[in-house]
Structure 1
């Protein structure tokens, strides 16, 4: 797995994207959907030609020059020019380039924070037959669809699951929690087995915590938006989600004072904490944190998220690709995107950077299927939902994080916190026209 946590990098990206929504809010949403569909013409199988300019955020895209060597060999008359930008600046610079009419042909996006780009004034609809939508995890595909028009194609995927100290669970004689009711008892058992705290909870109290409570609300049977596009954040399910999160702290199995995000892995390795609710990249970083090869294999296990009253649900995240509306070489650009979704390419990307495939069939390759600690993430990716594809979601998620903090620290009831975030979200609207 890469050394840089994607979640850590995306903290910066998401913050910049929130600021950037002002420039592109609601792009294309009041446009003609029929016209958008009609422009999604098929792309043939002939070799790509000309120049394709590609912008991406540093990280998973760092290895693309290596990954696309077979594409370049099969398409000798195409030139692919990459521009890799720091995560913290990526969306801001991309938005500025688009506004100035100087954007690339192809741009990378993040499905959890791409809503402001989804529309025909910014992106071309995905051509008919380019890819099979059913080959991807459904929520990742859904994240790029507005008014039944797809604007992005999934590239890599991740979600959250449980990563816990298997050695301490064995010592305590307990198995991974399957339901909400199992969670605190499991964490207390880990503490009896010598962990300082059962859960290393993220205490950033920011947009990422808001995403956490959103998935808890889904697990409790709630929704974030109604079918007619109205915020539904003051529901009993949201209050249940806020109480569930607070229970980790009020039970003494998590600490509102730490660890911070960057301390999470050292705490876990040292036994100060014994479980994380986190992404798959952590699995490949723990040997380094422990300074011992093989430590992870002998100390760590993973499991899907415990189920609430409506099951085990998480969110989907990762990377996607889109072709800009004013691309000068649309045909070659879509052929490039299509190549990146081939199962063999997805496996090559995994081998080069440990980016987990968005194409489900690629998970069957021995390079991935042979990694048992990834099984829980595959199971969870099949039970995910996309965050609301509206331009104000990140602001709302950030406010949710702050309301979570107040409930966790006993300063506010769950019902009041849900009411507060609903009022805030209603004041913002969804950004759609």
Structure 2
């Protein structure tokens, strides 16, 4: 996610770009056959871009006529680079695109619709596929996914007299209290109290309460009874002194998990590898579990999709590379080299996933019931408002009812 101070600049750039596109339109030129000799240009993000370059070379061995040229782009600059590239007509043929970026570029008519005869919705986790769907059309093929599940210290839970993973919100409260009161931990859990990305920890509470970000008519649903309930449950951990009320933007919960100061938290699957690398002494002393349920145990899906740009003249080649990257075999290979969970459900039967750490099992279960973050054109601005809402209940002690009403009003004009 982009730092909050950059939201206004990004919004201004997007508005200007929308005017440009409405004036000049878009559309690809003459198309090149997948059988012709050609170079396919691809943007990959961060470390994944570097891995993707190697995969491109492997693809080229099977398709000698298609040379894949991958340009790695940092996640911190990719939004502005994409906006500038659309305005200048200098986009690559295809790119990796973060799930929360999809809505903006769909709105700008920059993306080619997915060929749904080639790519089948049923092959992918539903929430991952739906994150790229607008007005009944899909614009991205899910590449890898992440979701949120619960991490907890089993050794300290044993010390506190708790033998099972928490299955409900009530269980989660009791475990947090037991950690602090009986196991002597500094905190009972860690819920991100503020700063960019706090919405990522709160949203599972909203979804598990039965709530949603938008209602059936496409309007904000942030003042619903379910939203109030989710804010109230989230706020409890701060009000009861069970979670720290402040943390720096670069706070690393894995360190406090290692010391036992924060023996429980909600996060994504990449943390399994981080714990293995940074806190090897925790082997056999922690576990993961699906999120404790309010009305249900429901998380949200993030990750990245593969998109082809409307102006590309190599759409057939882009389709071939996308097929290669999203097939079950290659998805298993991608997990092996990048440790990113497959979006293709069949890939979880591959040896690479069967031999993965057992802590990833909870994420596979969670993905099957996870909900979509809707593809909103102004997602970055809405996310900043959600972050502020979290801070209001965690740090300012504002009532959940008042915060829900504020969030609803703040979302007007950003949703729809």
Alignment of 1:367-378 (within 5 A): 367-370=352-355, 371-378=357-364
Q: Which residue of 337, 340, 343 maps to 2:322?
A: 337
Q: Which residue of 125, 134, 151 maps to 1:137?
A: 125
1:234 pairs with 2:223? yes
Shift of residue 173 of structure 1?
A: 2.6
Shift of residue 128 of structure 1?
A: 3.4
Paired with 1:257 and 1:54, the residues of 2 have a C-alpha distance of 40
Alignment of 1:150-165 (within 5 A): 150-165=138-153
Shift of residue 287 of structure 1?
A: 3.2
State the Cα deviation string for residues 201-252 of structure 1 (Å, max 9, x = none): 223x134222332331221122221222111111111111111111111122
- The answer to whether the 8 A contact 1:112-1:316 is kept is no
Q: Name the structure 2 match of 1:211.
A: 200
Paired with 1:213 and 1:417, the residues of 2 have a C-alpha distance of 13
State the Cα deviation string for residues 260-303 of structure 1 (Å, max 9, x = none): 6533111110111101211111111113323x4xx343221000
Q: Which residue of 158, 175, 179 maps to 1:190?
A: 179
- The answer to whether the 8 A contact 2:107-2:377 is kept is no
Q: Which residue of 166, 169, 181 maps to 2:170?
A: 181
- The answer to whether the 8 A contact 2:111-2:139 is kept is yes
1:78 pairs with 2:63? no
TM-score by length of 2: 0.90
Shift of residue 407 of structure 1?
A: 1.5
Paired with 1:27 and 1:223, the residues of 2 have a C-alpha distance of 28
Q: Name the structure 2 match of 1:146.
A: 134
Shift of residue 18 of structure 1?
A: 7.1
- The answer to whether the 8 A contact 2:206-2:212 is kept is yes
Q: Name the structure 1 match of 2:237.
A: 248
Secondary structure at 1:321's aligned position in 2? strand
Paired with 2:9 and 2:287, the residues of 1 have a C-alpha distance of 38
1:401 pairs with 2:390? no
Could you say if the C-alpha distance between residues 300 and 219 of structure 1 is closer, same or farther in structure 2, counting changes exceeding 3 Å? same
Aligned-CA RMSD value:
2.5
Q: Which residue of 84, 90, 96 maps to 2:84?
A: 96
Paired with 2:408 and 2:393, the residues of 1 have a C-alpha distance of 15
Secondary structure at 2:42's aligned position in 1? strand
Paired with 1:384 and 1:178, the residues of 2 have a C-alpha distance of 16
Shift of residue 259 of structure 1?
A: 7.1
Could you say if the C-alpha distance between residues 18 and 229 of structure 1 is closer, same or farther in structure 2, counting changes exceeding 3 Å? farther
1:117 pairs with 2:105? yes
- The answer to whether the 8 A contact 1:27-1:117 is kept is no
Paired with 1:21 and 1:107, the residues of 2 have a C-alpha distance of 21
Paired with 1:336 and 1:118, the residues of 2 have a C-alpha distance of 21
State the Cα deviation string for residues 118-161 of structure 1 (Å, max 9, x = none): 15720111113221111111011001010111111111110110
Shift of residue 22 of structure 1?
A: 4.1
Paired with 1:349 and 1:343, the residues of 2 have a C-alpha distance of 10
Shift of residue 365 of structure 1?
A: 1.8
Paired with 2:85 and 2:315, the residues of 1 have a C-alpha distance of 18
Q: Name the structure 1 match of 2:372.
A: 386
Paired with 1:129 and 1:275, the residues of 2 have a C-alpha distance of 44
State the Cα deviation string for residues 374-410 of structure 1 (Å, max 9, x = none): 0011111111111121122332222122122221235
Q: Name the structure 1 match of 2:350.
A: 365
Secondary structure at 1:389's aligned position in 2? coil
Paired with 2:247 and 2:326, the residues of 1 have a C-alpha distance of 39
- The answer to whether the 8 A contact 2:144-2:303 is kept is yes
- The answer to whether the 8 A contact 2:131-2:373 is kept is yes
Where does structure 1 lack aligned partners over 5 or more consecutive residues? 1-9
1:262 pairs with 2:251? yes
Where does structure 2 lack aligned partners over 5 or more consecutive residues? none
- The answer to whether the 8 A contact 1:207-1:399 is kept is no
